[in-house]
Amino acid sequence: MSDKVERIKCLIIGSGPAGYTAAIYAARADMKPVMYTGMEPGGQLTTTTEVDNFPGYPEGVDGPTMMVQLQQQAERFGTEVRIGMVTKVNLSDKVGGIHEVEVDNTTKIEAETVIIATGATAKYLGLPSEQKLRGGGVSACAVCDGFFYKGQDVAIVGGGDTAAEEATYLANICNKVTMLVRKGEMRASKAMQHRVENTPNLEVKYFTEVDEVLGEQVVEGLRVVNNQTGEKEEIAITGLFIAIGHKPNTDIFKGQLDMDDTGYIITHGKSTKTNKPGVFASGDVQDKEYRQAITAAGTGCMAALDAERYLATVESPEEVNA
């Protein structure tokens, strides 16, 4: 551990749309933000080939390019972007308190405010063929990528409310949707189940799991297996959507920040404030409802504004020491 301790006015943890938008606003407010990117600089969008629903890109943009541009915009106003992983935090309970953070288990930092934008990680099935075709027809966001499969046959895996909602969304734009549920019933609410049942071009296969995603460069089909009989069959599809949940990246904050049962950080009212003064959460780390780049960016803006207003209400440690 280094003996040198750096003091930062605004520390941003995470580098997706929420983190970079927070950085843009914080930098313009002269908060001199420092961002640590985490293990996946740019967040989930770096695995997305095309982004067509973010305002300001009439011709669309690929995810990695968009994140590079957001970084450049944040750096233009003075954000210091650092490659590194926050591995430990000790968050103060006091208004005006200093938050202690460790990066890569070697560097200690003190921050007057912390903006958490660590995002969430989509759960996948874990099949090698699935991982190979991520971005080539395999997606964890139907709302993000469903448009590219308009008029085509697709499949979706999952049996909860999110899967049912995304299945009916896909059914509105796709030719046929096959919903694969590994149990004999859906976990979704009765209302969502009725919606699925009443959608004519949506077929539900129960006791069914994915055995293999077929295709070399893009998804060309699916081999599924009935987990009761062992019977296998192939389905011709061009898109596979995984809707079995997300895991928020909040493990290092457990025991210090209020979270729900899944691990999403709880924020107060319409703000990004957490239960710790000077600590704010934005993006997918606190949003399990929408999970869109534009909503993440919006809460990143809110977090920076909340942090700026918080700093305006407390005396700086330098003034107190003086």
Which of 141, 174, 284, 287 is labelled catalytic?
A: 141
Q: Following DSSP, what letter does each residue of 108-158 receive, concatenated?
A: EEEEEEEEE---EEE-----HHHHHTBTTTEES-HHHHGGGGTTSEEEEE-
Q: Is-catalytic flag, 174?
A: no
Which of 3, 104, 144, 306 is labelled catalytic?
A: 144
d(CA 250, CA 118): 7
- Quick one: the chain helix, strand, coil %, rounded to 5? 30, 25, 45
Q: Is-catalytic flag, 10?
A: no
Under DSSP, the state recorded for 264 is: P
Q: Hey, what are 26's tokens?
A: 């914080």
Which of 3, 52, 145, 174 is labelled catalytic?
A: 145
Q: Which of 73, 61, 67 is nearest to 26 (CA)?
A: 73
∠ CA 205-210-213, nearest 5°, is 125
Q: Is-catalytic flag, 301?
A: no
Q: Hey, what are 151's tokens?
A: 């008029």
Find the farthest-apart pair of alpha carbons in the chain and give their distance in angstroms, rounded: 76
Q: Looking at this protein, which amino acid is placed at residue 207?
A: F
d(CA 205, CA 244): 15
Query: How many other CB atoms sit within 10 Å of the CB of residue 195?
Result: 17
Report, as residue numbers or ranges, the catalytic residues. Answer: 141, 144-145
